[in-house]
Structure 1
Amino acid sequence: MPAPRFIGSEIYRHSSYGAWHPLRIPRVSTVKDLARALGWLPPSAFVQSPRAKPPALWRFHRPDYIAALQDAERTQLVTAETRARYALGTPSNPVFPEMYRRPATAVGGSLLAGELVARGGVVYSPAGGTHHGMPDRANGFCYLNDPVFAIRSLRDNGATRVAYVDIDAHHPDGVEAAFASDPDTCLVSTHEAGRWPRTGALTDRGAGQVWNLPMPAGSTDDDMAMVLDQLILPVVDDFRPDAIVLQCGADAVAEDPQSRMTLSNNAHWAVVAALRPLAPRMVVLGGGGYNPWSVGRLWTGVWGTLVGAEIPDRLPPAAASVLRALRWIGPQREITPQEHWTETLRDAPRNAPVTELVRDGISALVARRSAWV
């Protein structure tokens, strides 16, 4: 089995959605710098991401939408008609200098990932995970939908049954729209109940392979551990995929400003480790995450989990300096990092009794799964 590969690009270091957008923060560049400082990312493991070209994007996105996205990047303007039709130039999906090239690079990474694991293995593309993008419009900070392309690339390169697991705090409405009626794609999502886009109801079924579990605000590691053991792993194992795509959004942790879930990064790493043996091919993507320290630490730990690295109790000086150099300016003030955000990689576990909503949701889905099997 080939060693895990890490796909990245410097475009993420030098672009931002704007001074007050939640995606003003560095994320992929922090993961790359931190992994290198820890000695986990040798040159042989790093792969430069290509940029997807319009004909490739037309396999999911409408040509007129791609043309409008390119034109908005070129002119740095949108008309009222373009804004209304394609949701470009909105507070969520603003005009910025790399608004086409940056997401097209993420799609290029997802396309390449499917090729790299054609004969087995695992690829990590933390810039991926833009799971809200729709065929004809931007949606929820996502101009393009690279997870859709990751699934299709896996199919193009020999996979027949793909399991897509999404542990972002937000439901992957764009991915579900693409594959809900496809019996050869299994979709499993955990997301915060009642949070935008307010889709992903427990009762959604698609062709029978859609499994949504809304989780309450305040969900902890114990909630996710039960979900992993009693829902995610049995569903994926029963499906018997020959490829897994994991969207590992970091916005369900306690310090993130865009959700009210309270997981630690240990919960995410446990999902990564548990899913890895269930298919010969695995593509791991990023996703949401809006606290620069918690995102950098969580996603670096994902890479460490994939390569079998030992998580240090305390970061060595070179790694800690990467985190100390980060700045996060909020709406009213600059955020001062907590000590563990700059000195450690692993969060303290966040434990509490499993909530009734999680127990009831699992019970309902397990009953449905028993009937399905």
Structure 2
Amino acid sequence: MTRPLFLGSEIYRGSSYGPWHPLRVPRVSTVMDLSRAMGWLPREQFRTSPRAKPAALTIWHTPEYVAALERAEAEQAVSDGVRDRHGLGTVANPVFPEMFRRPATSAGASLLSGELLAEGGVIYHPGGGTHHGFPDRAGGFCYLNDPVLSILSLRRAGARRVAYVDIDAHHMDGVQHGLAGDAETLLISVHEERRWPFTGALEDDGGGNCLNLPVPRGLNDSEMAEIRERLILPAVAAFRPDAIVLQCGADAVEEDPLSRLTLSNNAHWAVVAGLMGLGCPRLLVLGGGGYNPWSVGRLWTGVWATLNGHEIPDRVTPEAEAVLRALTWNRARAGRNPPETWFTTLRDAPRPGPVRDEVAGRVAVLARRPAARGHFPD
């Protein structure tokens, strides 16, 4: 693979979790449209994501859960027992027409990524990143856990050591559940403290291979640069992975409604660029959270530009501007009166600030952990 490959699907354009759910907004389809409108997504760099077959999902998910998810889509209803056992049909994880097909498409792309990266390369899968799924239960808008499936696929295709970095505003609870204590996987999560799912405490090392960094409200670009340069990049480099998986959730930016962090999208792009610079032979970049259609679309399109080495211009093309102006969002004042920059630019204004002692101190604590220096318990 000589050029990065974008895995996408039209299923994301036509499906929604429901009119009041945070995932009612278009995300992957917006990134596809913007990337094409910017001239960055030629046909040869795009591949349609396959839908994972139920049996393929059982390398980590239980057969009973996969069957329940299929049945819920077919019947468009769940029993109280299924709701209690599997977390389906809840406010967070509702019944909707594509509730098996959509996550199975995300899972299919993650499983395929491991195979495609067998000889090395870069893959972008913005429909992935559903890090809250558990083997037998949905959680946090995530019906399946495609990050875990991608890591298992990478290993099956020859990658022995995998570094997983998660910069979503919410902790990677499902991924940690699946891979905690695994000495051939390094897990790093940067997430907002005291935010659902209320896991990932600084003291939680997951059996030795997890570096959990809860950060306070108002995290700024300067603080994220501190985290990137003093924790993420040195720890991944010390681990010497055969593959890197980055969950690049877009909900840590200032405009997102489901966090209280204040990053600009520049911070995410810098993490992508930094991990690329480590020279690891395999890189898979996933999506994740992100609930403002303009901020997530602009951020994830900039990720694709970064992976390809494209310069991000001061103003988007007229075709890309038309894509951005066609978006709607009926949440609060931001959606009713969006700023002009959301229509005309991809890059946010930088949001620097002081590096607070609590952030620097937590980074220093984690940097002293054995896992941050490439050492894991036997």
TM-score bucket of the superposed structures, by smaller chain:
over 0.9
Kindly state the Cα deviation for residue 206 of structure 1 after the two structures are TM-superposed. Answer: 2.3
Q: Partner residue of 1:197?
A: 197
Gaps of 5+ in 2: none
The separation in 1 between residues aligned to 2:154 and 2:69, in whole angstroms, is: 26
Q: Partner residue of 2:116?
A: 116
Q: Structure 2 vs 1, CA of residues 155 and 333 (structure 1 numbering), >3 Å: closer, same or farther?
A: closer
Q: Does structure 1 conserve the Cα–Cα contact (< 8 Å) formed by 2:235 and 2:373? A: no
Q: Does structure 1 conserve the Cα–Cα contact (< 8 Å) formed by 2:224 and 2:267? A: yes
The separation in 2 between residues aligned to 1:340 and 1:334, in whole angstroms, is: 13
1:1-373 pair list within 5 angstroms: 2-278=2-278, 279-330=280-331, 335-369=336-370, 373=375
Q: Deviations over 1:121-142 (max 9, x none)?
A: 1000000000000001100000
The separation in 1 between residues aligned to 2:306 and 2:336, in whole angstroms, is: 29
Residue 262 of structure 2: SS of its match in structure 1? coil
The separation in 2 between residues aligned to 1:73 and 1:65, in whole angstroms, is: 13
Identity of aligned residues (%): 64
Residue 245 of structure 1: SS of its match in structure 2? strand
Residue 169 of structure 1: SS of its match in structure 2? coil
RMSD (Å) for aligned C-alpha atoms: 1.3
Q: Deviations over 1:110-157 (max 9, x none)?
A: 011111111111000000000000001100000000000110111011
Kindly state the Cα deviation for residue 88 of structure 1 after the two structures are TM-superposed. Answer: 0.6
Q: Does structure 2 conserve the Cα–Cα contact (< 8 Å) formed by 1:219 and 1:355? A: no
Q: Structure 2 vs 1, CA of residues 333 and 303 (structure 1 numbering), >3 Å: closer, same or farther?
A: closer
The separation in 2 between residues aligned to 1:5 and 1:181, in whole angstroms, is: 31
Kindly state the Cα deviation for residue 331 of structure 1 after the two structures are TM-superposed. Answer: 6.8
Kindly state the Cα deviation for residue 2 of structure 1 after the two structures are TM-superposed. Answer: 1.3
The separation in 1 between residues aligned to 2:225 and 2:275, in whole angstroms, is: 13
TM-score w.r.t. structure 2 length?
0.97
AA paired with 1:283? L
Q: Does structure 2 conserve the Cα–Cα contact (< 8 Å) formed by 1:124 and 1:283? A: yes
Kindly state the Cα deviation for residue 349 of structure 1 after the two structures are TM-superposed. Answer: 0.2
Q: Deviations over 1:3-39 (max 9, x none)?
A: 0000000000000000000000000000000000000
AA paired with 1:243? A
TM-score w.r.t. structure 1 length?
0.98
Q: Does structure 1 conserve the Cα–Cα contact (< 8 Å) formed by 2:239 and 2:374? A: no
Deviating more after overlay: 204-213 vs 188-197: 204-213
Q: Deviations over 1:79-107 (max 9, x none)?
A: 11111111111000000000000000000
Q: Does structure 2 conserve the Cα–Cα contact (< 8 Å) formed by 1:183 and 1:207? A: no
AA paired with 2:310? A
Q: Structure 2 vs 1, CA of residues 199 and 3 (structure 1 numbering), >3 Å: closer, same or farther?
A: same
The separation in 1 between residues aligned to 2:332 and 2:90, in whole angstroms, is: 18
Kindly state the Cα deviation for residue 172 of structure 1 after the two structures are TM-superposed. Answer: 0.5
Residue 277 of structure 2: SS of its match in structure 1? helix
Q: Deviations over 1:208-237 (max 9, x none)?
A: 221010011100000100000000011100
Kindly state the Cα deviation for residue 337 of structure 1 after the two structures are TM-superposed. Answer: 1.6
Q: Does structure 2 conserve the Cα–Cα contact (< 8 Å) formed by 1:163 and 1:187? A: yes
The separation in 2 between residues aligned to 1:218 and 1:30, in whole angstroms, is: 27
Q: Structure 2 vs 1, CA of residues 111 and 79 (structure 1 numbering), >3 Å: closer, same or farther?
A: same
AA paired with 1:19? P
Residue 14 of structure 2: SS of its match in structure 1? coil
Q: Structure 2 vs 1, CA of residues 109 and 176 (structure 1 numbering), >3 Å: closer, same or farther?
A: same
Residue 284 of structure 1: SS of its match in structure 2? strand
